[in-house]
């Protein structure tokens, strides 16, 4: 039985070789290391904050709206003196 020395792989070869690269050996990155996920989280927090601010502003401004059952009272104009 002869042992052939290792040589560079022929790029035109159709021989199937096992994948020896460490593609799947790295642990999955956490959420904090993923810039796309962090941008999504930041956008979500911004939308939640904007919605909360909108509710607070609406609640404050609704306090200054005139009530429909209260009529505006205007003083009587002065009567002309003859």
Give tens-digit pLDDT for 59-76: 988 887 666 665 666 777
Q: Is residue 77 part of a domain?
A: no
User: What is the domain count for the chain?
Assistant: 1
Torsion of CA 62, 64, 68, 70, to 10 degrees: 150
Q: Is residue 20 part of a domain?
A: no
Mean pLDDT of the chain: 76
Q: Is residue 43 part of a domain?
A: yes
pLDDT tens digits, 23-63: 555 555 677 788 888 999 999 999 999 999 999 999 988 88
Q: Would you say 49 and 57 are in contact if contact means Cβ atoms under 8 Å apart? A: no
Q: Is residue 53 part of a domain?
A: yes
Q: Is residue 41 part of a domain?
A: yes
Supply the pLDDT for residue 8. Answer: 60
Q: Is residue 57 part of a domain?
A: yes
Q: Is residue 8 part of a domain?
A: no
Q: What is the span of the domain harbouring residue 46?
A: 34-62
Supply the pLDDT for residue 6. Answer: 59
């Amino acid at each position: 039985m002869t042992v052939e020395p290792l040589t560079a792989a022929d790029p035109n070869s159709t021989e199937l070789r096992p994948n020896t690269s460490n593609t799947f050996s790295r642990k999955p990155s956490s959420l904090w290391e993923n810039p796309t996920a962090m941008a999504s989280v930041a956008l979500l927090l911004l939308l939640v904050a904007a919605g909360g601010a909108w509710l607070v502003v609406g609640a404050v401004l609704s306090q200054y709206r005139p009530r429909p059952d209260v009529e505006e009272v205007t003083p009587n104009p002065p009567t002309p003196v003859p």
